[in-house]
Amino acid sequence: VSFKGRLYAMQTGMKIDSKTPECRKFLSKLMDQLEAMKKQFGDNEAITQEIVGSAHVENYALKMFLYADNEDRAGQFHKNMIKSFYTASLLIDVLTVFGELTEENAQHRKYARWKAAYIHNCLKNGETPQPGPIGLEGESFDVEREEAGSSSLHSGTTQPTSSSTFEANNIPTSNYTGIHIPPGAHAPANTPAEVPHNTGVTSNTIQPASPNIPLVDPSLYSAQSAGKV
């Protein structure tokens, strides 16, 4: 997952800016890291074969999504669930390195990103979020507000729209790799087995486990030598 995340960052960075010295230095270091990971994990099919890699990332993204969705529908709102929704949306972004997203995954990404922002702001403002998909008939989903709302997870300055026409039927109970994830068994490996069930109150002690390999190495920002991309 970390390899594909770095690859996504590389491709996105190239599209944004591959000419300025700072960006060339950053992208060069990132490319070196990708090459090093290829050598280190050269026998890992999730890295060497796109179909396996895509299924691996998708499977993990949907585990994160289904865990968060299960907690949401049960009315159990907490920081770990919010971060799982948001992380799921980012991992679905990573799937674009394999090509265009399926309609189902595009809907999962939109819903997860919006839900993360909606619940985050409800708890921040002392409000009780409404569990599950919500929306009023005839309303359209405002993509710009949804995208802006997701950024409030970091800035806390933008309020997300409070409704969506996302339908519950659009959320499947299994992923698209043929692996069924039964209810109650979709918490990912880095998620605590039990979480506090204090509705409407966030806890500063609930923190998701950090991945073994960061998606972007902080040392990239202090790379000394510029390389060519």
* CATH number assigned to the domain comprising residue 175: 1.25.40.270
Instruction: Give whichever of 34-48, 74-88, 180-194 has the largest mean pLDDT.
Output: 74-88
Q: Is the pLDDT of residue 216 over 80?
A: no
User: What is the per-residue pLDDT for 135?
Assistant: 53
Q: Is the pLDDT of residue 172 over 70?
A: no
Q: Is the pLDDT of residue 208 over 90?
A: no
Beta-bridge mates of residue 71? none
Q: Is the pLDDT of residue 132 over 80?
A: yes
For residue 175, give its domain range. 49-187
Is residue 26, in this structure, part of any structural domain at all?
Answer: no
Is residue 88, in this structure, part of any structural domain at all?
Answer: yes
Please give the average per-residue pLDDT across 133-140, as a whole number. 45
Q: Is the pLDDT of residue 158 over 80?
A: no
Domain count, the chain: 1
- pLDDT band, very low/low/confident/very high, at 34 (cuts 50, 70, 90): confident
Is residue 130, in this structure, part of any structural domain at all?
Answer: yes
Mean pLDDT, the chain, rounded, equals 69
Is residue 222, in this structure, part of any structural domain at all?
Answer: no
Is residue 37, in this structure, part of any structural domain at all?
Answer: no
pTM exceeds 0.85: no
Is residue 42, in this structure, part of any structural domain at all?
Answer: no
Is residue 58, in this structure, part of any structural domain at all?
Answer: yes
Is residue 148, in this structure, part of any structural domain at all?
Answer: yes
- The letter for the amino acid at 123 is L
